[in-house]
Amino acid sequence: MPEPRATVRGELARRIIPLTLGAETLPRSVSILGDRTGQLITEPVTAVLVETSAGWVLLDTGHNPALVRDPALAERFYRGADKPLLATGGDPLEDTCHEAGVELDDIVLVAVSHLHSDHAGGLRHFARRATPVAIQGAELQHAMETPQADLELQGIFRIDFDDPSLNWQVLDGDTRIAPGVTAICTPGHTPGHQSFLVELDGAACGGYAFAFDAADLTENIDREIAPGGLIGGTPEQAISSIRRLKSEAAARGLVTVPGHDPYAWPALVDELSAEPTAPAPPAEPTAPAPPAGPTASPSLDPLIHGRPALVIVDMQQAGYLTSSGHGRYGIQQMPGFSDRIRRLVEILELCRHTNVPVVHLQEVHSRALDDFGRELDGAEGVHFIEGDAATSIVGELRPLATETQIVKRRYSGFFGTDLLDRLADLDVSTLLLAGELTDVCVHYTFVDAHQHDFHVRVIEDCCGGSTPQSHYAALDAMEYLQSRARCTAATVTAALISSDHERKGASS
C-alpha cells in the first residue's frame, strides 16, 4: 500500500529507465494554452520505469494498440484525426519494457498520471495480474461519473480502464507510493492529474520530477504557461500546479521533466543511458545470456547526423513462405518475419509523417539466371525471379510513388546501382537500415555505406538473418565498424521525433 508523504523519507530509488512508447502529431495549442501559430508538433508518448528496493514501478502506460490499429476501432475513438504512431509493431509497452530488461510480471506497482488514452492504454495488462494501480481519487471519480460519450470527446476511453479486476489504489493527495517515489497532486489538465518526484540514489542530480501532462513542454515550465485542453480546471489552477511542481523539485534538488517535449525527452533518454547509477545488490550467478552486442559504455554520439533516410532492404513476399533450403524461394530465414514487418510499418509511417526519405531496395533476378554470378555457390538456391509474386515487395511496405525504389542484382544496394547518387541528391548523412537478411544483404549494404562515409544505423528488431546466430554475429560485425550501429525500433522512433523538431526549429 502507498505510504503517506508525512512518513520518513527512507530509501531512494535505484534506477530510472525512460520509455518512448510512440508519438502523436498535435496542434501546438494542445500543449500551450492560447497558442495561435497553427504549428503541428510531433510529441513523444512517454512512460517511466523506476527500480526501487520494493521492485519495479511503472509510471504511465501509453496507448492501447488495438484502438490504433483496428480500422473500425480507430474510426470510433480517433474520429478521423491523425492516429498515434506506436513505437513497435507489437505491443509498445510490453516490447519496450522487455527491451529494457523488465517484464510486465516484474512490475509491482503501476501509477498513472491521469486517464487520457496515451497514458492509460496499457492498464489492461495489469487487470488480472492484481498489480496495484495508484491513481488520485478525483481522477477516477471524474472518469467513472462522466458520461462515456463526453469522456471520449475529452480523449479518455473507458475501455482502457473500466475493468473490475483492476486493483485500484486510490490516493487522496500527495503520497509516497514507493521507496524514493512520491505522487503529488497537479490538477488542471484533468481534475485528478498527478506528477511524480523520483529521488534517485547515486545520480549526478538528486533525481527527477516527472510532470507528465501538468507541463507538456519545457516552455510550460520555464514560462509557467498552462497546457491547452484543460478538463475541469482553470488556467490559474494549471499554472499553480506547475509552480508547485517546480518548488517541490527545487527543494529536493530534482530536475523537472516535461511530459511530451520532443527535445527534452530524447535528451533524457540519452542522459540516463550514459550516466551510471547506483549498483543493485549482487545477483546470484546465472547462465550466460544470448548474444546482446558490445558491453562498452554507450557513446554520446547522436543516433542521427544531418538528414536521415530509411533504407528498407529486400522485404519481399518470399519472406512469408516456408523456408525449405531448396527451390526458388528456399533462402534460409530465421523466424519472426511477420513481427519484423509490423515493427517496420510503424517506422515507415513515422518517416513518411516527418518527411524522412525512404529508399526501397528490391533484389530481382532474370529468368535466364544469367545475373546471379557467384550467389548460387553457397547455401542459397535460385530466388527472387522477375515477374514472380514472391519477388514483389510486401504489401504492408509497398513504396509510394514519391519514394525511391532501386532494383539490385547482388547483395549490396550500392553494387551496380545508382543508390549513391540518389542519396547524394537527397542530401542524406545517416542511413537507417532494416530488412533481410541481416548477415547478407543488410550487412553488405551496411559495409558499402560505411565505406562511402555515411553514418549507418541498423534497426536490429526490424531485421532478420538466415539464422538467429548469424543475425547476432552480423550485428556484432557492423557494431565493430560503427560503435552506435545497433539500435531498435523504439530508440529510432525517439531519435526521429527529436531530429524532426531540430529541423523544424532550424527552419523557423
Q: What is the DSSP string of 322-350?
A: PP-SSSTT-----S-HHHHHHHHHHHHHH
pLDDT at 21 > cutoff 80? yes
DSSP type of residue 284: P
Q: Which of 382-386, 395-399, 430-434 has the lowest mean pLDDT?
A: 382-386
pLDDT of residue 277: 43
Report the C-alpha gap between 207 and 256 in whole angstroms: 9
pLDDT of residue 290: 41
pLDDT of residue 7: 34
Confidence category of residue 107, pLDDT binned at 50, 70, 90: very high
Confidence category of residue 330, pLDDT binned at 50, 70, 90: low
- CA angle 9/15/19 to nearest 5° reads 120
Confidence category of residue 216, pLDDT binned at 50, 70, 90: very high
CB atoms within 10 A of CB 251: 10
Confidence category of residue 286, pLDDT binned at 50, 70, 90: very low
DSSP type of residue 363: E
What lies within 8 Å, CB to CB, of 372 at 6+ separation is: 365, 382
pLDDT at 83 > cutoff 90? no
The residue ranking higher by pLDDT, 498 or 180, is: 180
Q: What is the DSSP string of 25-75?
A: EEEGGGTSTT--S--EEEEEEEEEEEEETTEEEEE-----HHHHHSHHHHH
| Closest to 454 measured CA to CA, from 354, 308, 344, 352 | 308
pLDDT at 284 > cutoff 50? no
The residue ranking higher by pLDDT, 384 or 197, is: 197
Residues of the chain with CATH 3.40.50.850: 308-507
pLDDT of residue 462: 93
pLDDT at 370 > cutoff 80? no
DSSP type of residue 320: G
pLDDT at 146 > cutoff 80? yes
Which H or E run includes 86? strand 85-86
* CATH placement of domain 3-274: 3.60.15.10
Confidence category of residue 281, pLDDT binned at 50, 70, 90: very low
Q: Which of 70-84, 95-109, 280-294, 448-462 has the lowest mean pLDDT?
A: 280-294
C-alpha cell at 430: 545517416
| Per-residue pLDDT tens over the stretch 418-429 | 999 999 999 999
- Long-range CB pairs of 415-420 (<8 Å, 24+ gap) are 415/444, 415/448, 419/359, 419/361, 420/452
Report the C-alpha gap between 253 and 272 in whole angstroms: 17
Contact of 25 with 501, CB cutoff 8 Å: no
Confidence category of residue 154, pLDDT binned at 50, 70, 90: very high
Average pLDDT of the residues in 349-375:
86
Confidence category of residue 282, pLDDT binned at 50, 70, 90: very low
Average pLDDT of the residues in 201-225:
91
pLDDT of residue 1: 43
Q: Could you give the angle at which helices 468-481 and 443-451 cross, rounded to 10 degrees?
A: 10
pLDDT at 285 > cutoff 80? no
pLDDT at 193 > cutoff 60? yes
Contact of 52 with 14, CB cutoff 8 Å: yes
Report the C-alpha gap between 57 and 111 in whole angstroms: 8
pLDDT at 300 > cutoff 60? no
Contact of 318 with 384, CB cutoff 8 Å: yes
Where is mean pLDDT largest: 296-300, 336-340, 440-444, 502-506?
440-444
pLDDT at 328 > cutoff 60? no
Residues of the chain with CATH 3.60.15.10: 3-274
SS (H, E, C) 480-491: HHCCCCEECHHH
Q: What is the DSSP string of 394-443?
A: PGGGPPPTTSEEEEESSSSTTTTSSHHHHHHHTT--EEEEEEE-IIIIIH
Query: b/e per residue, 135-168, with b = 16+ CB within 10 A?
Result: bbebbbebbeebeeeebbebbbbbbbbeeeebee
pLDDT of residue 287: 37
pLDDT at 481 > cutoff 60? yes
pLDDT at 288 > cutoff 60? no
Report the C-alpha gap between 294 and 372 in whole angstroms: 35
Percentage with pLDDT > 70 across the chain:
87
C-alpha cell at 222: 520555464
Average pLDDT of the residues in 357-362:
95
Mean pLDDT score across all residues of the chain: 86
What is the fold of 308-507?
A: Rossmann fold (3.40.50)
